[in-house]
Structure formats: structure tokens, C-alpha cells
Amino acid sequence: MGERGEADSRLELAGLIARARARAAAALGPLPERLIVVAVDRQRLYLVEHGRVVADYRVSTAAAGVGGAEGSLRTPTGVHRLERRIGGGEPPGMIFVDREPTGARWNGEPVDQDLILTRILTLDGQEEGTNRGAGCDSLSRFIYIHGTNHEQALGTPASHGCIRLANRDVIDLYDQVAAGDPVVIV
């Protein structure tokens, strides 16, 4: 990408972050210093502090696209709060079932099943009718940010609704965020 293309890309990202911050402020009131932005069209997750991107990760959102409807297997858009941080201290590759570590670890072997690995960040929707309430509630749909055994698919829509990260990236993100932090999926 040339100098002009890089500048355009930086401006586009700055606009995306500004719009995400404005949407979060409209839903939540004054924003804390930290915000997570998931850009579905870019398949990226940005950690933003004081309006600046401090971390950037490749993700996979839903193969079925975006939407909040229960049973849709889509990634819900809008403003969320990080509800719970699960898995601190567990080794990379720890397999979780029902948000509990199983004691078994994924070590890179091919597995078709969509495993929830390493860390879990649960999401609580904050916009009634979009990602909160009957038929569209992100928390009751068990929408997470989590590690995956399908790291080769990161950068493309491939999940069943959750936001997948590389296992090393989900550890890095987990260590920088707190329960209550806003998450905006755009």
C-alpha cells in the first residue's frame, strides 16, 4: 500500500473508532478510558484507550453475518459491556465447556469441533431490541470473545456468532481489560 493508501486507511480507522465511541456514549453515557471495537467488515478487534488504538487483533466473526436474533448463529452488533472475564491463570489451549475449564488442552491437533479455548470474555448487550431483551439477548445467547482452535480462519467470517481470537491474542486482550468495559461491534 502506498503512502496515500496508508493515510486513507488511518483516516478510515479513525472515523470508525470515532463512530464507535459516539455510539457507546449514546448508549452508556460518559465513556471510560478503555473501549473494545470489533469491526466486522475488517475482521479486526481494536483495543482503544483515550481514543487511540493500542492493540489490533485479527478475529473471526460469524460465518452467517451479523444480527442479534436468537438461534441465528450471527454476531450481534451494537454496544455491549464486557460482563465476565473467565479463565485467568489457565494455560493456553485450555478447553472450556459451559464456561468451565475441563482440564483438557488443545495442543494444535486438527479438530473439526468449534472449541472455546484459553480465555472467555462474555458480552452483555446494552441496546434494547438490538442485543438485549427477548429474542436477541447477547448474554443469554452466550456470545463471547474467546480463543479458538481454528486460528487459520482468523481474518474471515467463520464462527457461530462469537468473536474468535488467536489464543495468544485472547490472553493479551484479557490481561488489558476489565469487567464493565464497553464493547462496540460495528
* Residue 1: pLDDT over 60: no
* 3-class state of residue 9 by DSSP: helix
> Does the pLDDT value for residue 2 go beyond 70?
no
Find cell 468473536 and name the residue. 163
Could you tell me whether strands 34-39 and 182-185 are parallel, antiparallel, or unpaired per DSSP bridges? parallel
Grid cell locating 124 = 452483555
pLDDT at residue 8, rounded to an integer: 75
Total domains, the chain: 1
pLDDT in tens, 82-138: 999 999 999 999 999 999 999 999 999 999 899 999 999 999 999 999 999 999 999
Range of the domain at 165: 3-185
Give the number of other CB atoms < 10 A from CB of residue 45: 24
| Average pLDDT of the chain to the nearest whole number | 95
Helices (runs of H) and strands (runs of E) counted in the chain: 2, 10
Tell me: pLDDT of 4 over 80: no
Q: Could you give the CA distance from residue 47 to residue 57 in angstroms, rounded to a whole number? A: 9
Contact 38, 183 (CB under 8 A): yes
Which CATH number covers residue 168?
2.40.440.10
| pTM (global) more than 0.85 | yes
Q: Residue 150 pLDDT > 60, yes or no? A: yes
